[in-house]
Every structure is written in structure tokens, then in C-alpha cells.
Chains A and B, each alone.
Chain A
Amino acid sequence: MKPPRFDYADPRTLGEAVALLQQHEGEAKLLSGGQSLVPLLNMRLARPAILVDLAKVAGLDHVREDGATLAIGAMTRQRSVELSPVVKARHPMLHAATLHIAHPQNRNQGTVGGSLAHADPAAELPALALVLGAEMRAVGPGGERTIGAAEFFVTYLTTALEPSEILIEARFPTLPPRTGWSVTEVARRHGDFALAGVMATVTLDDRGRCATARLVLFGVGATPVRAPRAEQMLAGERPEAALFERAGRTAAEEIDEPLSDVHASAEYRRDLARVLGRRALAEAAARAA
């Protein structure tokens, strides 16, 4: 399992990096942490003409609070996010999500940007970005633009990034007050990709009723799936088991075509989404109280 031949560049600036992507028009691949890319190279399933390594480009590795937003540079190692005191204290949902990402040995190398740009539908960070409504900053030949999470994940392993665009930062909003969260998944083993997972937030009003909820299912479709009908069921309602049961059922129906593979059939995934939807909403509501 040895990679095929390819060329390698380690630009020092974003401009150089973009230029290289343009120059090699679709034959170039960006290298960040390599946890997804290098296995594909070893299996000869990826055959780029050139690898553009972002490791030496400055300004892409940071965890910064910017008002009520947490700005994470694309080349920030997942482990840095996990161990960041700022994240642990004020962004516990993000912290919890990172704990599910593979194993520490992968998180030491894998990057936040790499995971988002790779867009594996069973990955935690894309789902988190969608549930929190994160914004992705990208740089390309036409300059800089911001892409919202809802538009960012297009389909299986595909984002809205153009071939010569580079994701440079992800910006996560902080959860509003009286908001509880849940990161719940079922995987074959600890650290494996989720067979199905749910990320949920529930915000309570001052009477203790659900004001808003956000619900994202992952591992079930070609991208993380938002479940707006289920979310709307919670608005104004008292948080209780029967409500979460109904919402879970509804969320499961909002998956178009659940994935099917050796580990789980489409039917099973849909039912997992129902069960986990219920459990996640219950947990989030309990945390909010």
C-alpha cells in the first residue's frame, strides 16, 4: 500500500497556495493533517499530480474569541481545540464533539479545516458546524468570501469550495444563555465513524418552555442533515419525554435517503436517528435547565 508518484509543494503564503491550485487546475490536492488524504494515497484511490501542503502558511493556526464568536484557523489541530481552556470553559459542545473524533493520535495531526473540507457525512465537525450555524471563511483567486454552514456541505465528500479555494477559518457562534446541548452517536467502537449521530441544542425561555431547538443528524445521509420540522415541534412546548419522542420520529422522517453499508441498513439508520433524536433533545433540554 504505497502511494503513487506525486509532486509536492509547501508554500509560505496563501497567495502562493491559491496560485498553485490554479496552476494545476483540479490535479492538485491540499494537504492539511492528512488523516483522510494519506490513507487514500496509500490505497492509490487518490492520484493527485501535486500535493499542496498548508503546514507552512502562517496565520491558519489559532483558537480566538472574537466577541461572541469562536474563530478557529483551518490548520488548527483538532487536539488543540480539545485541550483549549477557552473551548472547554465556554464552548462545551465543541469540546464534547472533538472527544468523539477518532483517537488522540489522529486528533494530534488532523485539522479542523481538513475535517470540514473533507465533508465526511459521519464526521462530527461538519455536523457541529451545521447545528451551530458556523461560517466558513475561504480564500480563492477572486478574493475572500464567507460561506454559511447550510450552504457549505453540498453532498458526499463535497463542499461549496471551488477547486482553487482554500478554507482558512471556521467561525462558531457561542450558544445563547439558557441553552443546553447534546452530542449523541452510535458507533461500532469508541472513536469509529458514527452509524448515526445527533447534535442538538435546546434554548429555554424564562418560563422553562422550549423557545428554540436546533437538530442535526449525521452519518445518515450524504451530508449532515438539519431537521427543521422536528425543531419547530419544540417551539413553545414544555420539555417532556412525549414531545422528544414525537420530535425524534419526525426528525427521522426528514432524512431523504439514509445511507446503507455493511454496518447499517437505511432502515436501521433511520430508526437510530429517531431514537438518538429523542435522547439528544432530552439531554439538551436537561442541560438547559
Chain B
Amino acid sequence: MAADVPRTIAELPTSAPRFVGRPVARVEDPMLLTGRAEFIDNLSLPRMLHCAILRSPHAHARVVAVDTAAAERLPGVVAVVTGEDAKRWTQPTPTVPPGWGAHCLASDKVRFVGEPVAAVAAVSRYVAEDALELIGVDYEPLPPVVDAAKALEPASPLVFDERGSNVMLQRVFTWGEVDAAFAAADHVFTERFRWHRLGANPLETFGVISQWDPVDGSLTCHGSFQSQFHMGLARAAVLGLPSHKVRMVSQPHGGSFGGKGGARGTDITALLSRKSGGRPVKWIEDRMEYLAGGASQAWDRHYEVSLAVRRDGTVTGLRVKLLDDLGATAEGWGAVSAAKPLAAFTGCYAIPAAQYDLTIVATNKLPGSPYRGMGPPPHNFVLEQMMDIAARELGLDPAEMRRRNYIPKDRFPYTIASGNEYDSGDYEAALETVLTMGDYTKLRAEQAEARKRGRWLGIGLVNTIEPGVFDWNAYAIVGQPGTGVPEGATVAIDLFGKIVVKVGFALEGQGQYTVVSQVLADYFGVDLGDVRVVPQDSLSAPPHFGPGGSRLGVAITGAVLGAADRLRQKLVAVAARLLQTTPDAVELMDGKLRIRGVPGAEMPLAQVSAVMLARSDLLPPDVDPNPEATYVWTAPGRTTADDQGRAKSYLTAANACHLVLVEVDVETGKVEILRYWIADDCGTRLNPATVEGMIQGGVAQGVGAALLEEYVYDDDGQLLTSTFMDYLLPSVYEVPMTEKKALCTPSPFTPLGAKGVGESAMHTTPAAIMCAINDALVPLGVRATAVPASPHRLWKLVQGARKA
């Protein structure tokens, strides 16, 4: 049955929306506020055991022998597994690019500090950790390769001997007449940049309870899974199980930001459960394990970027050379971060020609994982910094430089050089908004005044595209197959007119249960509290992915509206019969099925659903007597990537313009953020309060990226930032309160015109702060090209300038 998904709020069958578009309080919150959410570590199963994992202290070594006898004898220990068990019972994990995976427990060699080598299931985590100390491992250390450039050298140690090289991927993508553009340019600006490792760090680390059923050979896992279905598919592949024998149950989880991988932990606990005769085995990743061995690190990058510019400031070409250090394996799905930039490669600008020279290399460090933004945050930083460099050289104000290059607002949908299509946008309006909010002219005057008095103020003005609603084809260039990411929902109305919605994802923090409730409450004319969202496990839910790539707000809205429409069609057919007319004369409006244009000829929803469920005698013969419908939404109009990676990938192109004022203490290198303004356009805001929350959260992580967060490895591949004493998350002191204004260019392609907003300001804030710092340092003739701009780095930069 076809379904009609409303394109705008006005198309909803309500005369006055009460919930959609309003900042309603979240339905999830009372449970979370009272500490009643069932995060994975709050769940206990009968006879459950606790797992601890022994991890490699070496970055690169052969595993000669593992002696678990003493550990097995410790009272309270029930099962121990090693790499031998992994080799016997599992496959190496599938990866993108393919062929760069390892077993969940290292057997022949270890490839990074923190790699699991053995694991114990015991009566408590305390005892399990005692047992780890009794396991003896004989290592034969090998020289590690820790530097990306060194990893490319012919004589480099190999992370995977059988691959013959550390290069996971090496390709050049060319879009448009790049060579010609650079040859003909009046100016070519080139700069190198270094972006250091950082990562998600949700407050809750990963956790899982795996339970093996020895009788029917099936596996059930409860866990903090971001995407339970794909987790399940991969587990089936790795553990050699038929797909229908793996059931994943996603628990509400404490944030993810891409960093809730957990594949190894799930497989290891599955093995332990198997070895202990089917007892559930719980593993809660502790923070040190997360930092060193979890889905915690991303974007270890070396950039060389060139901009071809005409003397009037028009940018005619962009070249980005990226050496991406993915770490020891591709298991974390981190390679897709190198592909996503294609979705918005040239940003807000109408740059016709671009080139991406991409090398992804393996080193003996933690495998990289996704992190909010999935690759564009560093890419946007280098692009926006190049725009500022060009502007300064040409004597143009950074605002004017951007203005001259924007894609005009009447050219949408607009296909960019790298192939994606932007749905809508008005970048000029966003720029003007933020310049007005911050009184830009006055700001520049303030800056000039301050410089005279020896204060180094800097102004950052950047704009970016924040792509939303990802598709598999966005990652085709790194070997990700497929097109179309499904999100399904089942909507049912019960005997009393209450609505139950079944979905395939659990709470993660973005407020999707609330959005679903808002949309359906308005659609069916009920109260917010009359809608209940019930998450289903991976086998019970309709096809789904869950949150990720700023998709879920749009996707689940599409899914529930599609299901609602299918359900409406059924209700209309029944109501028509009961009202003694034809279906085309009946409409749903304000919670009633009524004959169009005939006042009084109506019946409430609950009455119709009650008839369907309890009065089969009154039903038309062709109607399914079930007031329930399912719909699976995928983004419309997706294409397959061509050989240059061009595809219609991310469906929506939200955009933002950030203006930030910073002060740099050039004697100490400390940066203070003084003011921060944001003009954000993410189309229709289904819940403006949760959207602002996404933006501000993105700002916080952006501040962390620009100033604080960095994983540091020494030359032996040892992680020096192994606790929260050294990996620094921003607190209320470090995150500016921002002033925000909303713009709205609705998406012509999405349900209700909303655009993806989950990743939001993370795309933009690092660029804004770095550009502001560099604006402050202009008089010194230095440029901060390494992120984060730690006090030490800035101090060294300034020292270098003063000595010169």
C-alpha cells in the first residue's frame, strides 16, 4: 500500500498543530531524571557472570604463549578465553575497506596497546580483575610503527604482514577541471595542517550482556548498541551463526556520538557465555579501557590543502591531500570518516573543481572509530582556514570572501563537484544574521582598539554545511556497499484510542521518542501522553538502523508518518463503511474520521479502532481488521556512486554560520572564548528545544576539539593520555554560552521539511575557534595549523615568531 508522507506541517491532518514545531518537554525525561532508565549496567540477568579483559601492553608483538591455568583455578572464575578460542570459534571482523580486520582476541600477534588478548568470566568484576593478574602472556616485542608518514616507507614494520603494506587505501578523486583551474588561477594558496586524535567519550562507556543458548545455538545480547541490527548482522558473520539466531536488544544508553562500538566486547562475552555453558556474561567497559581500547579515537590526520583563487576572490579549485592514520585495523568503521567529506566537500561555496588525494594508512595505534561529524569537522576547518588565508592575502574581509563564493539561494537543489546534492539553503541570510547579531563592524573596531593596548583579540567567522540523513553510498569510496538506509516503524491504535509505536532503536539522548510522540499526537489528534514508543529488539522491529549520521529525526518522522498514513487509509475504509459513504469522501482531521463537508458526520478514532478489533461483523470484507500499519522510510532519490565516488548521498544540507570572539594570551598560550553567535538553518525544527540542545552540545564538543582533547602516543605506541586527568573534556567553564538564531529553509525532500541536526555544531565550531585564534595572531605573522590549539602549541608558535 502506498503511503503519503506530509511534506510540511501544514499538511498534517490537524487544523492547529499543538506539538510539532514546539519546544515540548521530553517524554523520556521523567524516567531519566529519577534514575530509572535501564542503562546496560543497571540490568542483571539470573546467574550472570562478569567479564574482565586482559589487554596487550605492547603496541606490536608476537604472542608466543598464554598461560591461563592459575586464573582458571581462582575461586569465583568460571571461564577463561584466549586467542585460540577466538581463532576456533570466530572470523576476523568484517571491515571497510575490506580485509583489515582481526579476531576479537589476539592470537598470533598484537597490533596496538590495549588490544584484547584474553578474558575471564567470574562471579564479580573484582574477582575477574584478580584473575587477569594470574594470566601469564609471553610476548616477543616487535618494532612498532606509530607515525603515519613512516608507515608509508618501504622498510616500515607491517601491521598486517599478509597485506604487504600499511596502505589500506590510496586513491585520487578528481571532480571537474582541477588542473586547468589551478593553472589559470591568479593565486594558489597552500597550507599544511595537522589534526590530532580525539574522540566521542560519551559519559557512559560501552556495555553488553551476552547470553549463548547451548540448546538452539542462538545468541542474545543486551547492550548499549547504537545500531542493534547491524551489530547483530556483524556478530552473525563473526561468530558463524545464522542471522536469525542472533538477537540484539539495544538498551537506553548514555550518549554515543558514534563511539559506542563494542564489537570485540560483544564477541568476547559471547565466547565466555558459550564456554560457561550458557550463563549470561556482562562486560562493562571501564573508562581506561575505553580510552585505550574502545571506540574512542578518530581523525588522526595530515592535510595539505590548496585553493585556486581569482584576484576578485572567486575560488575556482580546491585540492585536499589527506593522509589518514586509521590505526591498527579498520574494525572501528573509522574509514567512513574519510569518505563523508564528499557529501559537502566544497562547503557553502560554488567551487566547480575539486580533488581529493586520499591515503588511509595502518599504524600500531588504536583503530579509529566514528565520532560526531564523521570527518567533516577537520575538513571544514582546513577549508575555512584556507578561505581566511586567501581573504587576507587578497585584502578582503573574511565575510566578503565568503559572500563572493556562496552558492546563490535560487540555485537549489544544487549538485556539488563531488556529486552530492544540497537540498536547500540561503547562506547569505545566515551570514547577515550572524553579522548583525554580533555587530561585526563594532567587533572589528573593538579588535583594533584592543590590539593597540596589547590585547590579542581574534574574530572567527565561518560557515559550513552540516550534512544530514546519511546513506551507505556516501562511503562507497572506502568500500561500503549498499544504497538506502531503512528506518521502520509500526504504529497501532488500540481499543481505547491510545497509540503504540514500535521502533528499532533505544534512547540515546536526541529526544526521538518525543519527536515521534509530537508527530503522531498531532497526526491523530491525541494528547502527547496518549502515544507510547516501545523499542523492539533486532528481530522484532521492522528494518531499521537507528541513530547516526544526523538521520534519525528525519527518518523516524518519515517512518511514523508513512505508517500513520497507511493506518489512516485502513481507518478511512472502515469509517466510510460505518458512515455509509465511500472512502474518498472520508478524511481524518483533528482526531476524527469525518465525511468531508458534512458537519456532524464523524466518529472518533477510538471508535473506529474498537470496531476493527471487536466488531468484525461491521467491517468491510477487504479490510485487514488490524488498526496497525508499518512503514519503512528510506531517503528518496539516492543513486549509486560512480567511479569518482559521486552520488546523491546525504539527503539534507543544514547550514550554519558561526561568529566567535576569542582572546589569546600570547604569553601563556591560553585561549578564552569571549562571545559566540550562531545562525543555524536546519529546516523545519520539529522540537526547537531539542534542536538547540543538539547545537549547544555540538559547540561543547567543538570547543573540546579545538582547545583540549587529544590522544597522545609516544614513539613506542604507548598511550600517554590514558585517563580523564590527561584526556580533557570541556566543563561549564570552558564552554561558552552561545547566542543562537534560527533560520529556516525547509527541505523539499524530507517529511515536514526537517533537516538532520544531530551532529550539528560539531561540524563548525572547531573551524570557528581555530579561525578566530589565527585571526588574533595575524600581527605576529604566525598561523596555528595543528589542532588542538593547546596552550603549549600556541606558546611555541609565538616563541618561534618572536625569535625570528
Contact = CB atoms under 8 A, between A and B. Distances in A.
Given A262-B721, A275-B668, A1 B730 contact: no
Contacts of A2: 125-126, 129
Interface string B700-711: 000000001000
Contacts of A190: 731, 733-734
Contacts of B286: 1
Contacts of A188: 708, 728, 790-791
B305 to A, nearest CB: 27
Given A2-B125, A271-B795, A263 B726 contact: yes
Q: Which of A186, A263, A271, A272 has the most CB of B within 10 A?
A: A263
A186 B792 contact: no
Contacts of A189: 708, 728, 730-731, 733-734
Nearest to A192: B728
B287 interface: yes
Given A2-B126, A189-B731, A190-B733, A262 B726 contact: yes
A contact residues, range: 20 to 34
Given A4-B130, A186-B670, A262 B712 contact: yes
Contacts of B790: 188, 263
B32 interface: no
A192 B728 CA distance: 9
B741 interface: no
Given A2-B129, A263-B790, A268 B734 contact: no
Contacts of B669: 268
B311 to A, nearest CB: 41
Contacts of A262: 712, 720-721, 726
A34 to B, nearest CB: 16
Contacts of B126: 2-3
Contacts, number: 57
B66 to A, nearest CB: 20
Nearest to B712: A262
Contacts of B617: none
Interface in A18-49: 43-44
Contacts of A263: 726, 790, 792
Interface string B733-767: 11000000000000000000000000000000000
Contacts of B22: none
B726 A1 contact: no
Contacts of A271: 795, 799
A195 B791 contact: yes
Interface string B120-135: 0000011001100100
B133 to A, nearest CB: 8
A155 interface: no
Given A4-B130, A272-B668, A264 B792 contact: yes
Interface in A224-272: 261-265, 268, 271-272
Contacts of B721: 262
The 4 closest A-B pairs by CB, nearest first: A190-B733, A2-B126, A1-B286, A275-B667
Given A189-B730, A275-B668, 10 more contacts: A4-B130, A44-B129, A188-B708, A188-B790, A193-B725, A264-B792, A268-B669, A268-B792, A268-B796, A271-B799
9 contacts: A2-B125, A3-B126, A186-B791, A189-B728, A189-B731, A190-B733, A195-B791, A268-B796, A275-B667
